[in-house]
Amino acid sequence: HNCYQTFLNSRPDSMEINAIKNVIELSEKYKVRTHIVHLSSAAALDLLKEAKLSNVNLTVETCYHYLTISSENIPINGTQYKCCPPIRDSTNREKLWNGLKENIIDMVVSDHSPCTPELKLLNEGDFIKAWGGISSLQFGLLIFWTEGISRGLSIFDIKKYLCEMPAKLIGLHTRKGKIAENYDADFVIWDPNGETIIEQSTIQHKNKVTPYVGRHLRGNIIKTIVRGEIVYEQNRPFSVPTGMLLVNEELL
């Protein structure tokens, strides 16, 4: 159970494809909006493309880790890489990038799922028993920027996939997702040509287990501003949280 391939074999592409088929069929039958979360298998892209061409009311997301990590590079005992659905091979990863460029995949999200080091069983290295989830919220922009520009994406693509489309999905697109008049003053000040090395000492998450430690990323976050208030300044601890629950009643 210390080899990642053992865990990967327990979550084949067919499981994901069958689940997505069920969702598409139910969406068509009951005429309801549906959203595919955490797409990891590129084998489902043709199915999703066909559904969209048939005007099924469907949106699709994938996650940073499926676009930036490949199963071949996950080490023995490396349970910090475990998530569900699983990270697949590099060929699959590149097909997901193509699915994004073709607008089969609508957005990219973190699926930020932290846990204590104990739950990750780092000393034991058992992929079957360890907690499944990856922490990446703090580095998402830089991870996606680093990998995206090497594949021909622009800053406008980044804005679309990380900001505009998620805001539209949750019904907050009239106040979130872009810098414009009458929108909340939510934005990041960053140097896209800078460099960031992910180190545990600068991780702001309470539990600092992440497969991205040691990664060299393009870009450097300088400040984060939420509703006009500075909430983060380069490597300084966050102040008291100022977030609030944002719910579009039409989605309830």
From first to last of the 252 residues of the chain, give the pLDDT tens digit. 899 999 999 999 999 999 999 999 999 999 999 999 999 999 999 999 999 999 999 999 999 999 999 999 999 999 999 999 999 999 999 999 999 999 999 999 999 999 999 999 999 999 999 999 999 999 999 999 999 999 999 999 999 999 999 999 999 999 999 999 999 999 999 999 999 999 999 998 889 999 999 999 999 999 999 999 888 898 676 677 777 788 777 765
**Considering the domain boundaries, does residue 173 fall inside one?**
yes
**Considering the domain boundaries, does residue 227 fall inside one?**
no
Which domain CATH number covers 52?
Answer: 3.20.20.140
Amino acid in position 249: E
**Considering the domain boundaries, does residue 189 fall inside one?**
no
Closest CA to 74 of 87, 85, 91: 87
**Considering the domain boundaries, does residue 234 fall inside one?**
no
**How far is CA 196 from its chain centroid?**
19
CA–CA gap between residue 148 and residue 170 (Å, rounded): 24
**Considering the domain boundaries, does residue 121 fall inside one?**
yes
Q: Where are the beta strands (DSSP E) in the chain?
A: 34-36, 58-63, 107-109, 187-197, 216-226, 229-233
State the pLDDT at residue 252.
55
Looking at the structure of the chain, the number of domains it has is 1
**Considering the domain boundaries, does residue 206 fall inside one?**
no
The domain in which residue 50 lies consists of 4-177
Burial environment of residue 170 by CB neighbours within 10 A (0 to 12, 13 to 18, 19 or more): middle
Closest CA to 184 of 233, 244, 241, 225: 225
**Considering the domain boundaries, does residue 216 fall inside one?**
no
**Considering the domain boundaries, does residue 244 fall inside one?**
no
State the pLDDT at residue 251.
65
State the pLDDT at residue 26.
98
Cα separation values, 11 from 43, 61, 156, Å: 13, 19, 34
State the pLDDT at residue 16.
98
